[in-house]
Structure 1
Amino acid sequence: MRHDLFPRVAGIATAAYGVAVAVRPAILLGPCGWTDESPSVRALTRMVGLRDAASGLAMIAAPDARSMRVAITVRVCSDLSDTAVLGLALRGRPQRAKAIAVTAGWALLCAATSVATAGP
């Protein structure tokens, strides 16, 4: 089981971040320069946080290498979609570079964990 430690740790970090965002949307909204005053903005942000928590839990609970690779792929695709959406939404704003760096960084970190799942 040592071969899958890195992806599981990344899954724990992802799930923890997702739960934190779901509980306190300002964790995600603040760095983007947005407020969480609107109930609809908080709801959408919580949905993103819970999606991250679910994909992180899938990385933690994956029973085999194949399942782990699927969970990692879902996580990376989610992060890349966040990168694209935030990149477009924050055009012309100073927060754009930071948002792209953070979301792309999560994607790269999780993608790197797939090396630990090499094999059948």
Structure 2
Amino acid sequence: MRVGLVRTVGVATALYGAAVTARPDLLARPSGLTDPAGRVAPATGICLRPLALRDMASGLAMATAPEGPALRTAVLVRIAADFGDAALLGATLPDRDKRIKAAAVSVGWGALSVAGLLLS
């Protein structure tokens, strides 16, 4: 396992999760989940914050878990979340271009975690 890589991905994920928790528009806008004026509906923000908290928690686990089974489990959770996001966002976002971009970003982050897990 490339511990430095998975810890870096964990820190980046945790920071992004914290940012989206504070400002759901950081995820809503690139995902096309805004009204025509670019505003995020309160209900959308409510739905995005738990995802952001999940990212923050899984990222912190990757950044701080002791090497061995605990870190491997944290990385596997992150991989599952990223590939799950790719599948769901890629299938359900309202705009085709946004679906493709969201899926690509999610797969990219998941691939970084896979690489960190498998490379020695």
When the two structures are superposed, what TM-score results if normalisation uses the length of structure 1?
0.87
Deviation of 1:37 (Å): 3.0
CA distance in 1, matches of 2:95, 2:18: 30
Match of 1:62?
65
Which segment drifts farther, 36-45 or 75-84? 36-45
Which segment drifts farther, 22-31 or 91-100? 91-100
Secondary structure of 2:96's counterpart equals coil
Whether the aligned pair in 1 keeps the contact of 2:7 and 2:62 (CA below 8 Å) is yes
Match of 1:50?
53
CA distance in 1, matches of 2:114, 2:54: 17
Instruction: Tell me the percent identity.
Output: 42
Runs of 4+ in 1 over 4 A off after TM superposition: none
RMSD: 1.6
Match of 1:6?
5
Secondary structure of 1:95's counterpart equals helix
Secondary structure of 2:33's counterpart equals coil
Q: CA deviation digits over 1:75-116, x for unaligned, max 9?
A: 000011111111111266221111111111111111111135
When the two structures are superposed, what TM-score results if normalisation uses the length of structure 2?
0.87
Q: How many residues align?
A: 115
Structure 2 residues without counterparts, runs of 5 or longer = none
Instruction: Find 2:105's aligned residue among 96, 102, 106.
Output: 102
Match of 1:18?
17
Q: Which amino acid aligns with 2:59?
A: G
Q: Which amino acid aligns with 2:99?
A: R
